[in-house]
Structure 1
Amino acid sequence: MRVPRPPDDEMIKLARRYVTAEHGGNIRYRKLPGSVLYLPDHEAIRFGRALAEDARQISDHDLGVLLDSEWRARLAAAWLIALDRRVRFRERLTPMLLESELVHAGAGYCLALARFGEAEDAAILSAYLDRYLPQVERRYDQDDALGALMLVDDQLGTDHAARFLGPGGLWETFTVNDSDAGGCKRFMQERVSFAESAMNGTLAQWAAQRDRS
């Protein structure tokens, strides 16, 4: 694993550019798990525009370097991949999600798969849930994976999530405090909507309509 420390100057440069960059005092990787959604309008718009600009211009090589690094870099790379819908990274992200090697980064992988929104992504997310929902002691990215799968189902007109959500299903045995599967879907939808709006230049409209609950 590459880390942004000497003598790896390439990794240091990329981390400063794409991972720890500041936008109006907001350090990028700290906002990407989801708190960007709750920034004041002007800060969220500024943050999203900068993220979209980087998503368009970063090279595949540089994304690959970030994915070779620690969780902050992987999370940032996954968001950039998600925004620009670089479906060619699906093969790279799949084992990283299924192995759940590092904390936090999996939320970015799930966002990318939700943005890709194809049958292959539903299969990957289902495989993750099959593996990790039974592991109730390991609470990783199950909420994000379920929310992403439900969104992909909506896009494809499929119902892959149903077998996890029925009475006695894996979600029922995994969840605590009656966690609402619909809430997982809504939170992922908000991130997807933010990504879409950032890329198509409608962040102001997104900010005016977003769910602030």
Structure 2
Amino acid sequence: MPFQHPKEIGYDYVIERYVTRKDSEHPRYRELKSGRVLRPGWQHAERFVRQLIDDAATISDSELEALLGYEWRSRFTAAWLIGVGRRATFRERIGDLLLASEFCFSGGAYCFALARFGTHADAEILTAYLDRYLPRTDLRYDQPAALGALLHLDARLGTHHAARFTEPDGLWDQWVQALDHLRDHPGYRPQERRHLANRQCDFAHGWTRP
């Protein structure tokens, strides 16, 4: 499907309303990407989270599709809204976008959404992604986010999908060792990837709409 600006299909307002939040000094996509909302002490967290919850509950499926059909910022934000709202009807769409890996950055949000859905079907999508992209040691896409989300789901579901990737000298080790800037970086240990996915999901589990 070709990329379309939402205005081309009658949704010219969705970028400013959901992605950049023109009325806010803190663009939503930027704050979500930075992970600042997960860190304690951010003075804008309460308002930011309240607005995110409200939008996740009220955004329409057609508005989400308009965002998912455009560039990385809109896809990234849409996936977060889908994950926060647990809009599992978007599972197949999110899975297709993750496997296609058309844009940088947005894949981490797809992985968050799949982790939030929390089912075996989501684990299968993440496994398929890692099967496709971990052997590509020349590429750094969203392998870390996918592994973290899969480890999170394994713990939740009592499964072991990630075990064959994380065994010593397995595909994960080979991928990390092939990329100089990741080698020996503590943030790319499997337990650290799972910890980040846990933080995202645990934080989201604690959100409630007033």
The TM-score, its normalising length taken from structure 1, stands at 0.87
**1:2 paired residue number:** 4
Residue type of the alignment partner of 1:51: L
Taking a change above 3 Å as real, the CA distance of residues 191 and 198 of structure 1, as seen in their structure-2 partners, is same
**1:204 paired residue number:** none
Q: How does 1:111-130 map to 2 (within 5 A)?
A: 111-130=112-131
Residue type of the alignment partner of 2:37: V
Structure 1 residue 45: deviation in Å? 2.0
Separation in 1 of the partners of 2:162 and 2:209?
A: 29
> Structure 2, unaligned stretches of length 5 or more?
177-181
Structure 1 residue 132: deviation in Å? 0.7
Q: How does 1:1-213 map to 2 (within 5 A)?
A: 1-3=3-5, 8=8, 10-21=10-21, 25-33=25-33, 34-38=35-39, 40-175=41-176, 176-178=182-184, 179-199=188-208
Q: Percent identity?
A: 45
**1:211 paired residue number:** none
**2:179 paired residue number:** none
Give yes or no for contact 1:21–1:27 (8 Å, CA) kept in 2.
Answer: yes
Taking a change above 3 Å as real, the CA distance of residues 23 and 173 of structure 1, as seen in their structure-2 partners, is farther
**1:206 paired residue number:** none
Structure 1 residue 192: deviation in Å? 1.2
Structure 1 residue 39: deviation in Å? 6.5
Separation in 2 of the partners of 1:165 and 1:139?
A: 17
Structure 1 residue 181: deviation in Å? 0.9
Separation in 2 of the partners of 1:39 and 1:72?
A: 24
Residue type of the alignment partner of 2:190: A
| Structure 2 SS opposite 1:146 | helix
Decide which moves more: 40-49 or 50-59: 40-49
Separation in 1 of the partners of 2:148 and 2:38?
A: 16
Q: Give the aligned CA root-mean-square deviation in angstroms.
A: 1.8
Structure 1 residue 9: deviation in Å? 7.8
Separation in 2 of the partners of 1:108 and 1:141?
A: 10
Deviation sequence 1:35-72 (CA, Å, 0-9, x none): 33236343122211110000000011111111111110
Give yes or no for contact 1:29–1:72 (8 Å, CA) kept in 2.
Answer: yes
| Structure 1 SS opposite 2:125 | helix
Runs of 4+ that moved beyond 4 A: none
Give yes or no for contact 1:23–1:47 (8 Å, CA) kept in 2.
Answer: no
Separation in 1 of the partners of 2:48 and 2:17?
A: 14
The TM-score, its normalising length taken from structure 2, stands at 0.88
Deviation sequence 1:161-206 (CA, Å, 0-9, x none): 11000012100101132331111111111111222222366xxxxx
Separation in 1 of the partners of 2:42 and 2:14?
A: 28
Looking at both structures, which has the greater relative contact order when contacts are Cα pairs under 8 Å and sequence separation is at least 6? 1
Separation in 2 of the partners of 1:39 and 1:26?
A: 17
Separation in 1 of the partners of 2:208 and 2:10?
A: 27
| Structure 2 SS opposite 1:199 | coil
